[in-house]
Amino acid sequence: MQIGGSSAVVVGGTGGLGEATVRRLVAAGARVVVADVADDKGKALEQELDVRYVRTDATAEDDVRAAMEEAQALGPLRISVDAHGGPASGGRLLGKTGEPLGLAGFRTTIEYYLTGVFNVMRLAAAAIARSEPIDGHRGVIVNTASIAAYEGQTGQLPYAAAKGGVVSMTLVAARDLSPVGIRVVTIAPGTFLTPAYGKSGDQVEAYWGPQVPHPRRMGRPPEYAAMVQSIAENDYLNGEVIRLDGALRFPPK
């Protein structure tokens, strides 16, 4: 698939992985909608890169529809990338006092990290399906999971469950959308150096970098973005979850 001349939506486009993806797609010739809730950053990208910013809560149907419609107005929509974040709860299933992990926090994490992905995927599929096919292909949906889907660490149960759900949706969604020529691929990143960690880059790198077999460092957002571009351009890549982690496997803690 040719990226140039197509439009794209990047949900979570002001975050570390999302912004890198926006920049990569713009450089490849796409007209990009940045869909996020960080207004200042979104408007700054709008001015710098000539993209469109649409305030978008991934869990809100009207918001996501508006982002898709904005992208359709720019050109044939062929690429949807979902790298959004949100609040996430954690803790052991049973705490030190014997209290079970809270249900409300679990539900919130599932809402943002699984239901939100489903919401974006279904609305992106409906929008991309309205684009004219080229050699039988209409476009691609790229979701973001995590290696926590496979090796969730102690205290990560809600997050691991949500990301495991994203992994499990991938093949089914690809099969569901095959009649209309839309591919679905998920990237499962390991530890990437983004602001999501909430600590200085040096601190995070010093902890995680030595745990990665090779290269012995954390991932960089442009490496995620490069994978998105490769997925978009390779029409035979479909229904797959790609670990992007330097061979890291999370230890229990």
Task: Tell me which residues are annotated as active site.
Answer: 159
- Axis crossing angle, helix 116-128 with helix 61-74, rounded to the nearest 10: 30
Hey, how many other C-beta atoms are within 10 angstroms of the C-beta on 200?
9
Max distance between CA atoms of the chain, in angstroms, equals: 61
The DSSP output letter for 197 is: G
Q: Whats the size of the chain, residue-wise?
A: 253
Whether the Cβ atoms of residue 229 and residue 202 lie closer than 8 Å to each other: no
In Å, how far from its chain's centre is CA 84? Answer: 6
Q: Say which residues have a Cβ less than 8 Å from residue 154's Cβ, sequence separation at least 6.
A: 92, 252, 253
In Å, how far from its chain's centre is CA 130? Answer: 22
